[in-house]
Amino acid sequence: MKIIFQIDGGIGKSVAATAVCKAVKAQYPNDKLIVVSAYPPAFLCNPDVDKALDFNNLSYFYQDHIQGQDFKIMAHNPYLETAFIEGKTHLIQVWCEMFGITYNGELPKVFVNNREQTFFTNQFAAQGLFQSGKPLLLIQTNGGGKDQPNKYSWARDMPMGTAQKIVDAFANDYTIVHIRRDDQLQLKNVIPMQADFRALAVLIGLSAKRVFIDSVCQHTAAALGMPSVVLMIDDTTRIRFGYDMHTNIIANPPTIKPELRHAVYGPYNISGIPQEFPYNHEGEIYDAEQIIEAVRKEDRQEPIILGEPKEPKNKKKEKPEVVE
């Protein structure tokens, strides 16, 4: 049988979906798993995936995978499931259970081969990332698709004032790499880095410390077993998208009542609608000193050779560390 797993949404969602792939393959070990998404690089070299296809290149898909064949389609959107909307269950578990797949705590997995590791490490060296001899600290401040009308979403992104305080606190001891596209906001005293997904995975593996938002980097770090400090706008976001290995920093409680007339299945739109902003100013969202202290407490890690993701150290899965 062919199991066709369709994933709609961004690259972070595709990385999270690799955990679903592992659960699917555990339940159907003798069947072929075909993934259809906008981000097939997230599934390359993955032993649980037989084929990863791009939405933009599905020529002859019906003839090759549907017509006259035994198949199972997994294409529903987990974001519209009751368990997800309630905000009490992780996305991966919701995804598995909606398709009748047994969930046994599977985590995302990203696989990079030795040649990729060498190739991208050499590229980073040529860009001067290792010139200072300092360990790498990665920071991702913004997420979402390219060319968004709003460069900053208070409901997802890191306030730039807060991010700059983090950079200033560690600039003497770390080479700080700001993961960002050209259309995203820029920090001072950092090395800006725009990389494709495979290179990004290698970069995360080479880093000593990481400060992320709920976006592709935090999912990829979890897939590589790399504990990170991750900023979340509320505890529901942590439950839905977070990982126990990370130190999850929850935003401060709202200081004013937001206007939620446009809210549908959740209180805040991910784009950061101005009317929904529940604070007097951006400085109230997070406590920068709290984040800095959490980064200091995270064990500094040596670069890893990617492949089979390692198990995170000093993290108990059953009791996630949450800072509110």
Model confidence band, residue 298 (pLDDT cutoffs 50, 70, 90): confident
How many whole angstroms separate alpha carbon 174 and alpha carbon 171? 6
pLDDT at residue 180 greater than cutoff 90: yes
320: left (phi over 0), alpha (psi -120 to 50) or beta: beta
How does pLDDT run across 257-269, given as a tens digit for each residue? 999 998 899 989 9
Domains along the chain with CATH numbers: 2-98 (3.40.50), 114-323 (3.40.50.2000)
Least confident of 9-18, 51-60, 233-242, 305-314: 305-314
pLDDT at 49: 98
How many whole angstroms separate alpha carbon 120 and alpha carbon 190? 20
Least confident of 61-65, 226-230, 265-269, 287-291: 265-269
pLDDT at 304: 59
Asked whether 295 and 172 are in contact (CB, 8 A), the reply is no
CB under 8 Å to 182, separation ≥6 — which residues?
A: 194
Which residue from 187, 188, 196, 234 is spatially nearest to 213, judged by alpha carbons?
234
How many whole angstroms separate alpha carbon 85 and alpha carbon 245? 23
Asked whether 175 and 129 are in contact (CB, 8 A), the reply is yes
Strand-by-strand arrangement of the 191-193 sheet: 191-193, 175-179, 136-140, 209-213, 229-232, 247-250, 321-323
Global pTM? 0.91
Asked whether 258 and 275 are in contact (CB, 8 A), the reply is yes
The three-class DSSP label of residue 118 is helix
Of the CA atoms within 13 Å of residue 194, those in its CB half-sphere come to 9
pLDDT at residue 218 greater than cutoff 70: yes
pLDDT at residue 224 greater than cutoff 50: yes
Q: Which residues of 206-240 are buried (b: 16+ CB within 10 A; e: fewer)?
A: bbbbbbbbbbbbbbbbbbbbbbbbbbbbbebbbbb
